[in-house]
Structure 1
Amino acid sequence: MPMPTSRPAHGALHLDEGTTHFSLWAPSANSVEVVFADGNTHALKPEPGGWFRRELPCPLGGAYAFRIDDGQQVPDPASRAQQDSVHGFSLVTAPTSYAWQHSDWRGRPWHETVLYEVHVGLLGGYAGVERQLEGLRELGITAIELMPLGQFPGERNWGYDGVLPFAPHNGYGSPDELRHLIDTAHGLGLMVFIDVVYNHFGPDGNYLGLYAKDFFRDDISTPWGPAIDFRQPAVRDFFIENALMWVHDYQVDGLRFDAVHAISEKDFLIEMAQRLRASVPLERHLHLVLENEDNSAELLQAGFDAQWNDDGHNALHVLLTDEHEGYYQDYAQQPTEKLARCLQQGFVYQGQTNRHGNARGEPSGHLPPTAFVLFLQNHDQVGNRAFGERLTCLTDPDALKAATVLLLLSPMIPLLFMGEEWGSRQAFLFFTDHHDELGIAVRDGRRNEFREFAVFQDSAIRDSIPDPNKLGTFNSSLPDYAPEIDPTHQAWRIYYRKLLELRQQLIVPRLPGSHAGHVQVLAKKAVSAAWTLADGSKLRIDLNLSDQPVTAPPLGSAARVVFGNRIDLHAAQQGLRGPFSALASIEESA
């Protein structure tokens, strides 16, 4: 597979057996030196635009840092690997050190995607994830999505506190062990996506403000501090080069861009997509997915394949749990109608005002169903709960099974969260590894996030929320799959596997060119949704999440039932849908 032809502007580039080109954008610095682990130092040469560069003798594996203005020693912000922590020496690496076994892999088309989100640390590092690949393929997964990998402080973190986005976290394994994981996945026909964070840096180990104040804006703030200034060409290149590194040096199949609503320069995102796509041959499949609270439909026609559909999740969550606090307030009124709009048009919010009185979203009915990633659970929706409860702990199991039929058989792209497929009841908690004052601030800040919820008005209950920095918080989130002890685990897995088999056989081949048809609200918590597939056939899913039977239009004479949850087939033909039921059918075109 071709590599990008231009030399990266940022970082240490190994040139030959004993030479490395060092480059640092430090417009706030007067001088920059390279400091090697043996104590030798070399001044970098200042160049226009705030750059400091120089070619120096340094072999692969060489440890180095930068010294700013004869004072603070800092790691390379574009470090490809760290010797130890985010505060220590960076290492010179080269992607050519790994011999790819499946270099002819070209990926899979987007419509075949079934995403499975995992936290690498909870599965035991890159090697631990690799051991799960065979089972995931057998389940029917086609793509694993790794939560952020950039080096973060400490040993435990979700990954969104990373400060060195080019350096895969060394606590999970080496860069080549990550490549081996990806290579093995490709050999099994599995794609690999990586979650990337381009909207902020973590609170510990980010030294950019010391020597590159222009990296950040002083007029726009985000929940994590000053916004990154994407008006600066060097800043844009920093993140685009990071994305190119994942695509080429690690051969990943897709990127999921975290919280792009916190990026004020939307043209940067469009440039990102353009440069990434221009860097790969036409026959290689590259998938770009957004998380975007702004529901910017225009970006889904400007180089991005899809967006995580939080609207769909939130409407389903309200219907399944009757929860209505926090952001669920936006879905508490007429949640069934909101779900119907999602199934027919993609987004629920397409310019309507939310609970804060702000207009949100853009019209999305013209987009294909595959432009939306649907999920019932993910790291945010589970882990951002105070006690990390999964849906298995919050709703009726038959209702959850019915919703799973919609998740896995609708034309939207499904995403599963690790453990979901075996009906895990294990918490997934928010965990970090901060210490001293920062650790206390993170713990207290976490607990204060829940002040607006009625149950946490009591400070004693609020103080019972697990401390993110305790090792026990991490250990409480470890996977609990044990079918020999809990046979319900195996039963759930069989259920998911059957649905994914049906998706692969009956729906995936007909997805390109599909579009939504009529969606009808049957009753409170019950809808009937139809889509026209590429060959003209009609896919219909009737979903009843209530504890009362409802009536749906009778199935057409040419329709055949694909799958039913809590369905009497004779009654189903007449239109009766029992409590907590789902029925999927396909009517072939004439």
Structure 2
Amino acid sequence: MTARYVHAMPYGARSLGDGRTRFRLWAPDLESVSLECDTGHTAAMRSLDDGWFECICPAEVGVGYRFRIDGSLAVPDPASRRQRSGDVHGYSVVTDPLSFEWRNTAWNGRPWHETVIYELHVGAVGGFHGVEMILPHLASLGVTAIELMPIAQFPGERNWGYDGVLPYAPAAAYGSPEDLKAMIDTAHDLGLMVFLDVVYNHFGPDGNYLGAYASRFFDEGAHTPWGAAIGVSSPQVGDYFVHNALYWIQEFRFDGLRFDAVHAIGNPGWLASLASRVHAAVGPDRHVHLILENEGNQANLLGRGRFDAQWNDDFHNALHVLLTGENEGYYAHYASPMDKLLRTLREGFAFQGEMMGPRRRGEPSGHLAPARFVNFLQNHDQVGNRAFGERLVTLIAPETMEAALTLLLLSPFVPMLFMGEEWGSRTPFLYFTDFADEELRDAVREGRRKEFAEFTSFGGEEIPDPNEYDTFTTSIPKRDGTNGEHRRLFIRDLISLRHKYIAPYIDDARSLGAEALGERAFRASWSLGGQALTLFVNLGDTDVTIAQPPSPSAAWLHGDAAEIASVSRGLLPARRAVACLES
């Protein structure tokens, strides 16, 4: 048995199944709009209430179309499901979402507590087909969810995805909408959830025409690093993004969304409404998960029926400073890394209303379960926003890296790995784009150079040009030929332990305390299914003493015989982490 899915939208092109298509555009700034098809057909669109324009015209599936606004500028459909040849300036394409037959009709997702995320860049692994090819490997590793960096159509053939301008159109450089659906269907066959990173806080700098006919999309009174904020308080604008979320979840069967930099949206009320509408639309029988990236640390947005979790930059930043000693840029706010790291292990956020630079950041989060926080050692931001894209494995000793991975995968927070991390890949992940406009290429190149010029650790080396093809190919992860298989087995075994002993209980886990044992060593404990989970972690280069070793009856989850014996005697070896359960 197969199934077909479509999300009904008030926007864009809807094939009527009889050789005709309904086209609709919201253009409140205009007096007239006409439709142009690549078949040569043109038609004036009739004006409806509140800025809407509509027409029903002969147009088969596969026909290209665009809108001519006020008789001059030709623009693509902002709700385009597909672009002709991936051109953000050119024709959109009439599609039939119901033409794809889904095999896995019984899939309803997985509960949040089972989540182990693997973040990847679709282009760097070979497009949607390339992702599909590595799914068996990820399933065998124990990963339960892959998270795709943004896939909305962007200019050129390569991009991180945060320069998208047509948020309904999967990037043609990665494959067709049907290729994406086939990949998700295969993931579900393997028991894998698929999450998508979506960007509702800005549009990219090339190909965004909304301001020419729908200025209400932008709030000129509120500014972001990318310009005027998105005007989600306007019902038509807010609904445009709510429909986008539902489109990916209902039509493409994504299992969750990660919302990029929602602090730049600046409207927590709209965010709460978005989460409520998504949960209401999917119903109680399907597991759909919503994840925030939010510098505001707004704990009130997290919980059942709201957003499942937030990427916890506080955990990463404090741990990174502790591991590397780096203290420039945003790492300067984590100058006392042990205190801040321990607070994240006890309470979630390190910043819960304290001053961070010129303003207060965060809300109290100690009442939240660890499951409300997604922790990571690295991700696309933390690696790619370094001048040379160095991965953490190139900055610290292999044993220290494995101790940090133990903390990540055996603590009761939701863990996330970055592509290649399971092989100990040393390949950098650089910032890359493919803009055609020379002025924009120059601006991006110079912007990257200026960004790092004031770092004392940066010696004036030539920053890789984001627009050069080699910058992209250099970022394709490669397996560490020496230690790759060892690292894969190490991570696989940790995830297996997690699934058996930790994951089933994280929704109700609570901190039992976390304390420093040395300059770079600590102990952290949580109540977990009627037992106490304790991790002893030493990220330093010298052994440290433990005043209160675990009881002789402790059940050891992780650590070799020598490490366990040493900890039982009250000595935690350097660059090691062990874990146990106590009744």
TM-score by length of 2: 0.97
Q: Given the alignment of the two structures, is residue 370 of structure 1 paired with residue 379 of structure 2, yes or no?
A: no
Choose the corresponding residue for 1:492, options 487, 495, 507.
Answer: 487
Choose the corresponding residue for 2:544, options 547, 550, 553.
Answer: 550
How far the C-alpha of 1:2 sits from its partner, in A, is 9.8
1:546 maps to amino acid: G
Q: 1:345–1:364: 8 Å Cα contact kept in structure 2? A: yes
Structure 1 pair 160/541, CA: closer, same or farther in 2 (3 Å)? same
How far the C-alpha of 1:47 sits from its partner, in A, is 1.4
Say which is worse superposed, 558-567 or 277-286, in terms of deviation.
558-567
Aligned position for 1:98: 100
1:203-244 Cα distance to aligned partner (Å, 9 max, x none): 000011111111101111111111111111110111111111
Q: SS state of the match for residue 195, structure 1?
A: strand
Aligned position for 2:328: 325
How far the C-alpha of 1:111 sits from its partner, in A, is 0.3
Rounded to whole Å, the distance in 1 between the matches of 2:560 and 2:221 is 53
Rounded to whole Å, the distance in 1 between the matches of 2:25 and 2:368 is 42
How far the C-alpha of 1:565 sits from its partner, in A, is 6.9
Q: 2:4–2:98: 8 Å Cα contact kept in structure 1? A: no
Q: Given the alignment of the two structures, is residue 28 of structure 1 paired with residue 29 of structure 2, yes or no?
A: yes
Aligned position for 2:563: 568
Rounded to whole Å, the distance in 1 between the matches of 2:332 and 2:253 is 41
Q: Given the alignment of the two structures, is residue 135 of structure 1 paired with residue 137 of structure 2, yes or no?
A: yes
Rounded to whole Å, the distance in 2 between the matches of 1:377 and 1:304 is 22
Structure 1 pair 567/299, CA: closer, same or farther in 2 (3 Å)? farther
Rounded to whole Å, the distance in 1 between the matches of 2:126 and 2:5 is 31
Q: 2:113–2:507: 8 Å Cα contact kept in structure 1? A: yes
How far the C-alpha of 1:567 sits from its partner, in A, is 5.4
Q: 1:567–1:581: 8 Å Cα contact kept in structure 2? A: no
Rounded to whole Å, the distance in 2 between the matches of 1:3 and 1:179 is 11
Choose the corresponding residue for 1:304, options 303, 307, 319.
Answer: 307
Aligned position for 2:359: 358
Rounded to whole Å, the distance in 2 between the matches of 1:424 and 1:566 is 28
Rounded to whole Å, the distance in 1 between the matches of 2:378 and 2:141 is 18
Rounded to whole Å, the distance in 2 between the matches of 1:445 and 1:451 is 10
How far the C-alpha of 1:8 sits from its partner, in A, is 1.6
Aligned position for 1:315: 318
Q: SS state of the match for residue 558, structure 2?
A: strand
Equivalence map 1:460-499=2 (5 Å): 460-461=460-461, 464-481=462-479, 486-499=481-494
Q: SS state of the match for residue 343, structure 1?
A: helix
1:401-421 Cα distance to aligned partner (Å, 9 max, x none): 101000000000000000111
Rounded to whole Å, the distance in 2 between the matches of 1:402 and 1:153 is 41
Rounded to whole Å, the distance in 2 between the matches of 1:566 and 1:403 is 19
Rounded to whole Å, the distance in 2 between the matches of 1:548 and 1:565 is 18
How far the C-alpha of 1:574 sits from its partner, in A, is 2.0
Rounded to whole Å, the distance in 2 between the matches of 1:452 and 1:432 is 23
How far the C-alpha of 1:547 sits from its partner, in A, is 1.1
Q: SS state of the match for residue 511, structure 1?
A: helix
Structure 1 pair 565/328, CA: closer, same or farther in 2 (3 Å)? farther
1:362 maps to amino acid: E
Aligned position for 1:506: 501
Q: 2:4–2:102: 8 Å Cα contact kept in structure 1? A: no
2:132 maps to amino acid: E
Rounded to whole Å, the distance in 1 between the matches of 2:6 and 2:276 is 13
Q: SS state of the match for residue 292, structure 1?
A: coil
Q: 1:151–1:170: 8 Å Cα contact kept in structure 2? A: yes
Q: SS state of the match for residue 354, structure 2?
A: coil
Q: 1:2–1:280: 8 Å Cα contact kept in structure 2? A: no
How far the C-alpha of 1:125 sits from its partner, in A, is 0.5
Rounded to whole Å, the distance in 2 between the matches of 1:551 and 1:15 is 73
Rounded to whole Å, the distance in 1 between the matches of 2:18 and 2:84 is 20
Q: 2:299–2:363: 8 Å Cα contact kept in structure 1? A: yes
Q: Given the alignment of the two structures, is residue 536 of structure 1 paired with residue 530 of structure 2, yes or no?
A: yes
How far the C-alpha of 1:3 sits from its partner, in A, is 6.4
Q: SS state of the match for residue 435, structure 2?
A: coil
Rounded to whole Å, the distance in 2 between the matches of 1:166 and 1:531 is 42
Aligned position for 2:380: 379
Rounded to whole Å, the distance in 2 between the matches of 1:17 and 1:341 is 61
Aligned position for 2:147: 145
Q: 1:555–1:574: 8 Å Cα contact kept in structure 2? A: no
1:519-569 Cα distance to aligned partner (Å, 9 max, x none): 112121111100101x21111001111112112221023211111279522
Q: 1:86–1:164: 8 Å Cα contact kept in structure 2? A: yes
Rounded to whole Å, the distance in 2 between the matches of 1:336 and 1:60 is 59
How far the C-alpha of 1:570 sits from its partner, in A, is 1.7
Aligned position for 1:210: 212
Aligned position for 1:221: 223
Rounded to whole Å, the distance in 1 between the matches of 2:183 and 2:141 is 18
How far the C-alpha of 1:375 sits from its partner, in A, is 0.1
Rounded to whole Å, the distance in 2 between the matches of 1:567 and 1:17 is 73
Q: SS state of the match for residue 302, structure 2?
A: helix
Aligned position for 1:39: 40
2:212 maps to amino acid: L
Structure 2 unpaired stretches of 5+: none
Aligned position for 1:524: 519
Rounded to whole Å, the distance in 2 between the matches of 1:17 and 1:465 is 55
Q: 2:39–2:63: 8 Å Cα contact kept in structure 1? A: no
Q: 2:4–2:100: 8 Å Cα contact kept in structure 1? A: no
Q: SS state of the match for residue 582, structure 1?
A: strand
Rounded to whole Å, the distance in 2 between the matches of 1:551 and 1:43 is 80
Rounded to whole Å, the distance in 1 between the matches of 2:526 and 2:151 is 37
Structure 1 pair 32/576, CA: closer, same or farther in 2 (3 Å)? same
Rounded to whole Å, the distance in 2 between the matches of 1:575 and 1:10 is 65
Rounded to whole Å, the distance in 2 between the matches of 1:173 and 1:357 is 45
Q: 1:405–1:499: 8 Å Cα contact kept in structure 2? A: yes
How far the C-alpha of 1:487 sits from its partner, in A, is 2.9
1:16 maps to amino acid: G
Q: SS state of the match for residue 236, structure 2?
A: helix
Q: SS state of the match for residue 406, structure 1?
A: helix
Q: How many residues align?
A: 577
How far the C-alpha of 1:48 sits from its partner, in A, is 1.7
Q: 1:27–1:51: 8 Å Cα contact kept in structure 2? A: yes
Rounded to whole Å, the distance in 2 between the matches of 1:521 and 1:288 is 33
2:179 maps to amino acid: E
Q: 2:37–2:66: 8 Å Cα contact kept in structure 1? A: yes
1:92-127 Cα distance to aligned partner (Å, 9 max, x none): 112211100001100000000000001000111000
Q: Given the alignment of the two structures, is residue 515 of structure 1 paired with residue 516 of structure 2, yes or no?
A: no
Q: 1:148–1:159: 8 Å Cα contact kept in structure 2? A: yes
Aligned position for 2:188: 186
Q: SS state of the match for residue 205, structure 1?
A: coil
1:504 maps to amino acid: H
How far the C-alpha of 1:15 sits from its partner, in A, is 2.1
Choose the corresponding residue for 1:109, options 108, 111, 117.
Answer: 111
Q: 1:9–1:23: 8 Å Cα contact kept in structure 2? A: yes
1:556 maps to amino acid: S
1:527 maps to amino acid: F
Root mean square deviation of aligned Cα: 1.4
Rounded to whole Å, the distance in 2 between the matches of 1:201 and 1:211 is 15
Give percent identity, aligned residues only.
52
How far the C-alpha of 1:281 sits from its partner, in A, is 2.5
Aligned position for 2:445: 443
Rounded to whole Å, the distance in 1 between the matches of 2:570 and 2:370 is 26
Structure 1 pair 141/487, CA: closer, same or farther in 2 (3 Å)? same
Say which is worse superposed, 293-302 or 338-347, in terms of deviation.
293-302
2:331 maps to amino acid: Y
Rounded to whole Å, the distance in 1 between the matches of 2:455 and 2:571 is 38
